[in-house]
Amino acid sequence: MTAPIPLTITRLTKRYRLPSGGDIEAVSDVSFEVGAGECFGLLGPNGAGKTTVINCLSGLYPVTSGEVTLGGIDVHRDPKAARRLLGVCAQEDTLDSDFRVFDQLVRYATFFRIQVEEGRRRARALLERFGLNGRADDPVESLSGGMKRRLQVARALISAPKLLVLDEPTTGLDPEMRRVLWDILMEERAAGTAILLCTHYMDEAERLCDRVAIIARGRILDVDAPSRMIARHMGTQEVVDELRPGVVWRRAPNLEDVYLKLTGTHLRWERQEA
């Protein structure tokens, strides 16, 4: 028997009811899957619907329609069993300021019914891996923003999840810390973890992701390996220099060019709907 696919999302639609009485469709008819050892990127600007997708797959939000399974388990039929396979690093800081760094991880492990000694062993290993060893006994509030971010990713890994979900994990990290995190994600992928990475950084998606979905206004516009997507949409780009007749520039197109072509808007500056 083949192992079940870590994540399948089938025709997911999510509408929010607004206090004013109307509703907003944040995610429309979204389908994709993430296989073991695959890093899948959800690439889109603020307001595209990335976080909504994550909230639906962790079973926190009821879906309007569609189906989500984790390791073959329907998230809404059996949320507890499904969530055991999942490690999530949310977009906002969700660390518990009542706990010191080490205890934060050990306590989180108990949510997954991991024995205390095993939890402590994993916590030590993760702090080492994330370069936070020296801060084990410090209060969370004493950490810098970048350290908190790393701790939050470490916490998502304490249960050795089949699917690791990261919502804009590198926002606010300096380039060195970004590299540290990228390396860890690639180690996880090599070990067979499925990764869903939400980001609006094109370079990050291009570098890390086996496949990316371009999402705008709640809809997936295209899914493919970054290089294939670029080749398919952009080919080899030639730009005529208007100031110097006869001069033609060749530049290497990237995912941002694809995004512009698909949506007519710049990835970073797409305006949110009112």
Ligand X SMILES: Nc1ncnc2c1ncn2[C@@H]1O[C@H](COP(=O)(O)OP(=O)(O)O)[C@@H](O)[C@H]1O
Q: Does 52 bind Mg ion (CB under 5 A)?
A: no
Judged by CB under 6 A, which stretch of 49-57, 66-74, 152-160, 240-248 contacts ligand X?
A: 49-57
Judged by CB under 6 A, which stretch of 47-55, 132-140, 202-210, 221-229 contacts ligand X?
A: 47-55
Identify which of residues 68 and 105 has a Cβ nearer to Mg ion in the complex: 68
Q: Does 16 bind ligand X (CB under 6 A)?
A: yes
Q: Does 214 bind ligand X (CB under 6 A)?
A: no
> For the chain, how many helices (H) and strands (E)?
9, 12
Q: Does 51 bind Mg ion (CB under 5 A)?
A: yes
Query: In Å, how far are 67, 124, 206, 220 from 171, measured between CA atoms?
Result: 30, 25, 16, 22
**Closest separation between CB of residue 169 and ligand X, Å?**
13
Which of 9, 34, 43, 52 forms a contact with ligand X (CB under 6 A)? 52
Q: Does 69 bind ligand X (CB under 6 A)?
A: no
Question: What element of type H or E holds 105?
Answer: helix 101-111
Query: In Å, how far are 130, 167, 237, 252, 259 from 268, measured between CA atoms?
Result: 29, 16, 22, 20, 10
Beta strands per DSSP E along 187-260: 194-199, 211-216, 219-224, 237-240, 248-251
Identify which of residues 162 and 200 has a Cβ nearer to ligand X in the complex: 200
Half-sphere CA count of 133, side-chain side, radius 13 A: 6
Contact residues for ligand X, defined by CB under 6 A:
16, 24, 26, 44, 46-52, 272-273
Contact residues for Mg ion, defined by CB under 5 A:
50-51, 91
